[in-house]
A and B are shown apart, each in its own frame.
Chain A
Amino acid sequence: MKLSRISAIAAVAMTMPLAVVGEAAAQNEQFIPSLVYRTGAYAPNGIPFANGVNDYMAMLNDRDGGVNGVKIVLEECETGYATDRGVECYERLKGKGPTGAAAVSPLSTGITFALTEKAPADKIPLLTMGYGRSESADGSVFSWNFPLLGTYWSAADILIQHVAKKGSLKGKKIVLVYHDSPYGKEPIPVLQDHAKKHGYTFEPIPVTHPGVEQKAVWLKIRQGRPDYVFLWGWGVMNSTSIKEAAAVNYPRDKMYGVWWSGAEPDVLPAGDGAKGYNALALHPAGTVYEVHKDVFKHLYDKGKGMAKRDEVGHVLYNRGLINAMLTIEAIKTAQAKFGKKPMTGDQVRWGFENLNLTAAHIKALGFDGLVSPLKVSCADHEGARKARIQQWDGKQWVYTTEWIEADTKYLRPKMEAAAKAYAAEKKIEARNCAKQS
C-alpha cells in the first residue's frame, strides 16, 4: 500500500514538468475556429473550401512553426450550412484556446446575419470574404464584419457593368434565379436600382433550399426568354440550374453566376451542358502559384493534405487558401502592434482593419496572381471590389475579361444609407473613422 502510494507520488512528480510544458505550449497557441460543411446538401462546395483553409494553416505550422512562432490550432465544426448549427458552433468555440477565437469565417450569409449581433459582444471579428451583409463594408457601423474582396452588391454591379458593355440594356429582360435565403436576396436592391437606370425589366425568381426542384423555374424562363439569367445559387442548386438551362435550351453563354456559382462542383455534374456558362471570379483556379508549391512540399508530398492531390487548385480550394491567408495576415498585422504572442479577437479585429496587402507583400506570401492588392480601413471593410468574368470551356475556367471594379460612386452612398438604417435600428453609435488610428 505504502509502496503504491510512493509510486503514485513519484509518477505525479515525474509528469509534472510535462504538464507544465504542455500548459506553456498551449499558452502559445492561436486558436482559430473553422465553420465547415463536409456533409449535407452543400458539402460538395463546403469540402474544397474547408480543405483549402485547413491545408494553409497546416502548411504554416509545418513550414514556419505557425505564425511568428505561435502555433495555429484549427478546430472544425460542422454547420451543414444551417444557421442554427452555425450559431451553436460559434458559441461552442468562441472561448477556446488561450485567447479565445481569433476570428470566425461563417461561410454562410445566414450564419453571418445571426452572428453580426453577437460578434461585437464577444469581441470576435467575422471574416466574410465575398459574402455576408453588403452594407457591412461600412466599418464605421459594422466594426466587427470584414466582407473582404467584394460584397454581393459589388458583384451585382460588376455583372451589370459587364452585360451593359455588350449593348444597351434598354428594353431587355434580366432574370435573377436566386437561392431563397439571405444570401440569394442580397443582390436584388442593386439589380432593381440598375433596372431603373438602364431601362431593363428585372424579374427575381426564388429557388427554395436545396434547389433541386427547378423545372417550373426554367419552364418559366423558357416562356419569358430573358436576355440574361443571373444565377445566385449555392451547392447543388448551381449544377441543377445549369442542367435545367441545358434541358430547356437556354443559351449558357447568356447565364452569369456570382462567384459562389462558379466552381468545379457547379459545372462538372452538368457535363457538356455547362459549356459556355459564365461566372464572376474573385481569383483564378490552378496550382501554378508559389503557395501551392509549399502546400505540396509540406503536406501532400508527406501524405498529409486534406484534399485529393488533383483537387488542390480548384476554385473553392484556392478560395479557402485565400481566406486562411487573410486571417493569418490580420493576425500578423495585429502581432506587429501588440507583440508576437497569441492575439485576442479584439486585437485581430484591429489587424483586419489595418490590413494592407500590397503587390510586393502578396508576392512574398506566394499569392502573386491569386489575390489582388487590398487595403482595409475603418471606413472600408471591403478592401477591394474587383472581379473578372470566367467561362467554362468544358474542361476549365477561362478568363474572358480583365478585372472589373464595382462602381464605388454608386455603391458607397447606398451602403452608407443601409448601414445608417441598421445603426438606427440596433441603436449602434457609428464610429468617427477620421479619428481612428
Chain B
Amino acid sequence: MGPFIEVVLGGLLAGVLYSLVALGFVLIFKASGVFNFAQGAMVLFAALSLVRLMSGELSAVHYWGAAAVLGVAVGYVLLLFWRRARPAAAPGRGASWGLIGVFGLIGAALAALHGTAGWSGWVAIPATAAIMGLLAVAIERLVLRPLVNQEPIILFMATIGITFFIDGFGQTIWGSEIYTLDLGIPKDPMFLLESVFEGGILVNKLDIFAAAIAGVLVAVLAVFFQKTRIGRALRAVADDHQAAQSVGIPLNQIWIIVWTVAGFVALVAGIVWGSALGVQFSIALVALKALPVLILGGFTSVPGAIIGGLIIGMGEKLAEVYLGPVLGGGIENWFAYMLALIVLLFRPQGLFGERIIERI
C-alpha cells in the first residue's frame, strides 16, 4: 500500500507543476481567446533571464540593459500611481516619457556602479518581471495589434512563431547551458509515516513548495478575474474583441496587461521548474505537458487547470509504474494525452470548460 500511496502523492505533486504552466495558457486564452503556444518558451525565457542575472557571468551590457528595463518599469508604475492619486498634477505625455527615460537611465547607472557581479534574487526577480513586461509590450505592438479581429487560428499561428523566436533569442542572449537556480527553496526528500510503511512515504519538499505557490496563484487569479475592473474587462475582450472595443475597453492595453500577467505566471513556473530541473532548454518542452492538462480541465477554467494537472500527474505516474512494465515502459508522455482524449469523448469542453452553445 505504501508504494501505491507514494506514487499517487508523487503524481499529484508533479501535477501541480504542470498546473503552474497550464495556468499561463488559461490566463491568456480566458482573457484574449488566443491559445498562446509560446507559454513554454516564456517560462524558459523568464527562468533564463532570472538565473543569468543572478549568475554574475554576463557582460556589463546585459546588466545595464536589464537594469534600464527595471528602471523603466518602476518609473511607469510610479507614474500610474501618481495619475491615480493626483490626476491634475500628473505630467503630460511627453514629460511622462521623459520621466520614464530618466528612471531607465538611473537603473543603468546603478548597474554600472554595481559592476558585473551577480544580482540577488530581490533585484533579479523584479528585473525579470520587468523584462517579461517588456516582452509583452513587444508582442502586443509587433504581433497582436496588426492581427486584431483576425481568425483565432491566425493568432495561434503567430504564437507558434513567437515560440521559435523567444526560444532562439533567449538562448542567444542568455546562453544555452544548464544553469543551477538556487533561491533557497528546500529540495530535500522527506519520509512520512515511516512507522506505518516500510521505508516511509517519500515526498519532496520542493513539490510541497510548488503546491503552495500554485494555491496562492490560483487564489490571486480568481480574485483578479472575478472581483477587479480589469479582470472583468479581460473577460469581455475574450468574449468578443469588437464588442469590447465598442463599449470603450482599450484592447491594446488589455492585451499588454494579460501578456504581462502571463509572463509573471511564466516567471513563477520558471522559478519552480528551474529549481527542480536546472534552467535549460527542456523547460520549454515541459510546457507540452500542459496541453493534456488543458484538454482535460478546459481552456477557460483556472480551477480546471489545477484539477486537470492533478489528474494528469497522478494518472501518468500510476500508468508508468503499474502499466509501464507490461507495455515496455516510457508510456507516461502519451498516456497523459490518451487520458485527456478519453475525457473529451464524454465532455468535449473538458471537465471545467465553458459549454459553448451557438444559435444556428
Binding site for B on A (CB under 8 A): 38-41, 43-44, 47, 180, 204-208, 210-213, 215-217, 219-220, 222-223, 235-236, 239-240, 243, 246-249, 265, 268-269, 271
List, in ascending order, chain A residues with CB within 8 A of B283's CB: 212
A212 to B43, CA, bound (A): 15
The yes or no answer to B35 lying at the interface (CB within 8 A) is no
Q: Which of A47, A212, A248, A249 contacts B177 (CB 8 A)?
A: A47
Known A216-B317, A236-B280, A236-B282; judge A268-B180 contact (CB<8 A): yes
Judging by beta carbons under 8 Å apart, are B178 and A239 in contact? Answer: yes
Determine the residue in chain A with the shortest Cβ distance to B279.
Answer: A269
List, in ascending order, chain B residues with CB within 8 A of A38's CB: 176
Q: Which of A39, A180, A215, A247 contacts B176 (CB 8 A)?
A: A39
Known A180-B330, A223-B3; judge A240-B277 contact (CB<8 A): yes
Judging by beta carbons under 8 Å apart, are A222 and B202 in contact? Answer: yes
Known A38-B176, A44-B178, A206-B329; judge A216-B321 contact (CB<8 A): yes
List, in ascending order, chain A residues with CB within 8 A of B330's CB: 180, 205-208
Judging by beta carbons under 8 Å apart, are A236 and B3 in contact? Answer: no
The yes or no answer to B204 lying at the interface (CB within 8 A) is yes
Judging by beta carbons under 8 Å apart, are A247 and B204 in contact? Answer: yes
Contact mask B320-336 → A, CB, 8 Å, 1/0? 11001000111011000
Which B residues from 36 to 79 make CB contacts under 8 A with A? none
Judging by beta carbons under 8 Å apart, are B281 and A239 in contact? Answer: no
Nearest 10 CB-CB pairings of A with B: A216-B320, A206-B330, A269-B278, A43-B176, A44-B178, A210-B282, A44-B177, A216-B317, A206-B329, A212-B282
A-B contact pairs, 18 of them (CB 8 A): A44-B178, A44-B280, A47-B177, A180-B330, A208-B330, A212-B283, A215-B10, A216-B7, A216-B11, A216-B316, A219-B317, A222-B199, A236-B282, A239-B178, A246-B189, A248-B202, A269-B179, A269-B277
Determine the residue in chain A with the shortest Cβ distance to B328.
Answer: A206
A211 to B199, CA, bound (A): 26
The yes or no answer to B254 lying at the interface (CB within 8 A) is no
Judging by beta carbons under 8 Å apart, are B6 and A219 in contact? Answer: yes
Judging by beta carbons under 8 Å apart, are A44 and B332 in contact? Answer: no
The interface centre, meaning the residue of A243, A268, A269 with most chain B CB atoms within 10 A of its CB, is A269
The yes or no answer to B168 lying at the interface (CB within 8 A) is yes
Judging by beta carbons under 8 Å apart, are A212 and B286 in contact? Answer: yes
Task: Quote the shortest CB–CB distance from A155 to chain B (angstroms).
Answer: 21
Apart from A47-B177, A213-B289, A223-B321, what are 15 other A-B pairs with CB-CB below 8 Å? A43-B171, A208-B333, A211-B282, A215-B11, A216-B316, A219-B3, A219-B6, A219-B7, A219-B321, A236-B277, A239-B278, A248-B202, A249-B189, A265-B177, A271-B180
Binding site for A on B (CB under 8 A): 3, 6-7, 10-11, 14, 167-168, 171, 176-180, 187, 189, 199, 202, 204, 276-278, 280-283, 285-286, 289, 316-317, 320-321, 324, 328-330, 332-333
List, in ascending order, chain B residues with CB within 8 A of A213's CB: 286, 289, 332-333
Determine the residue in chain B with the shortest Cβ distance to A308.
Answer: B57
**Chain B contact residues: helix, strand, loop or mixed:** helix
Judging by beta carbons under 8 Å apart, are B285 and A41 in contact? Answer: yes
Task: Quote the shortest CB–CB distance from B1 to chain A (angstroms).
Answer: 12
Task: Quote the shortest CB–CB distance from A322 to chain B (angstroms).
Answer: 21
Judging by beta carbons under 8 Å apart, are B14 and A215 in contact? Answer: yes
Judging by beta carbons under 8 Å apart, are A39 and B277 in contact? Answer: no
Task: Quote the shortest CB–CB distance from A310 to chain B (angstroms).
Answer: 10
A246 to B167, CA, bound (A): 30
A39 to B164, CA, bound (A): 12
List, in ascending order, chain A residues with CB within 8 A of B177's CB: 43-44, 47, 265
Task: Quote the shortest CB–CB distance from A274 to chain B (angstroms).
Answer: 11
Judging by beta carbons under 8 Å apart, are A265 and B285 in contact? Answer: no
Task: Quote the shortest CB–CB distance from A215 to chain B (angstroms).
Answer: 5
List, in ascending order, chain A residues with CB within 8 A of B10's CB: 215-216, 219
Task: Quote the shortest CB–CB distance from B43 to chain A (angstroms).
Answer: 12
Judging by beta carbons under 8 Å apart, are A215 and B317 in contact? Answer: yes
List, in ascending order, chain B residues with CB within 8 A of A210's CB: 282, 285
Known A208-B330, A268-B178; judge A39-B285 contact (CB<8 A): no
List, in ascending order, chain B residues with CB within 8 A of A236's CB: 178, 277-278, 280-282
A210 to B288, CA, bound (A): 12
Determine the residue in chain A with the shortest Cβ distance to B188.
Answer: A247
Judging by beta carbons under 8 Å apart, are B333 and A44 in contact? Answer: no
Task: Quote the shortest CB–CB distance from B124 to chain A (angstroms).
Answer: 19
Judging by beta carbons under 8 Å apart, are A47 and B176 in contact? Answer: yes
A236 to B176, CA, bound (A): 12
Q: Which of A43, A220, A268 contacts B321 (CB 8 A)?
A: A220
A248 to B199, CA, bound (A): 11
Task: Quote the shortest CB–CB distance from B186 to chain A (angstroms).
Answer: 12
Task: Quote the shortest CB–CB distance from B334 to chain A (angstroms).
Answer: 9
List, in ascending order, chain A residues with CB within 8 A of B333's CB: 208, 213
A240 to B285, CA, bound (A): 15
Known A43-B176, A247-B204; judge A216-B285 contact (CB<8 A): no
List, in ascending order, chain B residues with CB within 8 A of A269's CB: 178-180, 277-278, 280
List, in ascending order, chain A residues with CB within 8 A of B179's CB: 269
Determine the residue in chain A with the shortest Cβ distance to B202.
Answer: A248
A207 to B331, CA, bound (A): 9
Judging by beta carbons under 8 Å apart, are A41 and B281 in contact? Answer: yes
A431 to B254, CA, bound (A): 71
Task: Quote the shortest CB–CB distance from A372 to chain B (angstroms).
Answer: 29
List, in ascending order, chain A residues with CB within 8 A of B321's CB: 216, 219-220, 223
List, in ascending order, chain A residues with CB within 8 A of B286's CB: 212-213
